[in-house]
Structure 1
Amino acid sequence: MGLRLAQVCVDAADVDALARWWSEVLGWPAETDEDGDVCLRSPTGPDWLFLEVPDRKVVKNRIHFDLTPDDQTVEVDRLLALGARRVDVGQGDQSWVVLADPEGNEFCVLSGQG
């Protein structure tokens, strides 16, 4: 196939703050371009590009990130300390934990690699 996924674009009300938060979460370096967009450089690709939008998030994401930690409990505690919050999107009792970033974007922390 002649396509490859180059970037994942994330809308943000505060591009700098949200990109900085995700940079801390993932440990990826952030670069701001001449337009004020912020790109997180993934070591394995694709990069994440944060774009400023005027509207606030209002409904559940139509796409989200699943993160696989070495230790789910340790990672969830770290993310909560960084400002994530637990959210209920109707998942019920599952092995993964659903959190939201500071702008309300949901993501899952899976049960781990083990």
Structure 2
Amino acid sequence: MALSLYQIAVDARDLRGLAHFWCQALDWKVLYDDPEEVVIGADGNAWPGMVFLPVPERKTVKNRLHLDLSPDDQEAEIERLLALGARRVDVGQGRDVTWVVLADPEGNEFCVLRPKTSLSA
């Protein structure tokens, strides 16, 4: 395939603060940092990464695109992410879903799924 996902761009008011949250959440590191962008990833050769770009306005509506995170232990990861600065949000997901919707410190929604089981027996 001639096309691959390189990075996910995220608008941010506090580039370094939001990059720091996601570095802690994903156990990634800052790969590049200047006033116009902060790039994070698992390492310089592992993509996709995330790039945080400056905007003056606050987020005002629900994201049209979000990340789904797959943990080993859903409850432990939710508690860890809340301690890092995430918060629970209701985007209309209902009570009987198997995922939990959180928002990062700037309000970007993401989901923490239940642990995935192997499809092979």
> Secondary structure of 1:63's match?
coil
Say which of 42, 61, 64 aligns to 1:62: 64
Say which of 96, 112, 115 aligns to 1:112: 115
Note the C-alpha offset of 1:35. 4.7
Q: Single out whichever of 54-63 and 35-44 deviates more from structure 2.
A: 35-44
Q: Could you tell me which amino acid in structure 2 is paired with residue 101 of structure 1? A: D
RMSD: 1.3
Q: Take 2:36 and 2:57, find their aligned partners in 1: how far apart are those partners?
A: 17
Alignment check: 8 A CA contact 1:42 1:48 kept: no
The size of the alignment, in residue pairs, is 114
Alignment check: 8 A CA contact 1:87 1:100 kept: yes
The two structures have a TM-score, normalised by structure 1, of 0.93
Q: Take 2:7 and 2:75, find their aligned partners in 1: how far apart are those partners?
A: 29
Unaligned runs of 5+ in 1: none
Q: Which residue of 2 aligns with 1:82?
A: 84
Unaligned runs of 5+ in 2: none
Greater C-alpha radius of gyration: 2
The two structures have a TM-score, normalised by structure 2, of 0.88
Q: Which residue of 1 aligns with 2:48?
A: 46
Note the C-alpha offset of 1:42. 3.0
Q: Percent identity?
A: 56
